[in-house]
Amino acid sequence: MDYMTLKEASEKWGVTPRQINYLCTGGRIPGAVKMATIWMIPKDAEKPADRRFKNTKK
């Protein structure tokens, strides 16, 4: 399986690397693995939904 770093994921998803770190720490990105001090995120992982907003489309 191919992995990407926090910086690559942040560029791909348009958020800061710190936000990606929070998502990884919270277990919100399936398959993310921490090796020593570096988070490795699967390249095929999708950006988790933002929990601050409810999806209330009618």
**Domain boundaries along the sequence of the chain:** 3-42
**Residue 39 pLDDT greater than 90, yes or no:** yes
Please report the pLDDT score of residue 21 as a whole number: 95
Q: Note the pLDDT tens digit of each residue in 7-17.
A: 999 999 999 99
d(CA 4, CA 42): 6
Q: Dig out the tokens for 25 from the structure.
A: 């720490």
d(CA 58, CA 43): 33
Please report the pLDDT score of residue 58 as a whole number: 62
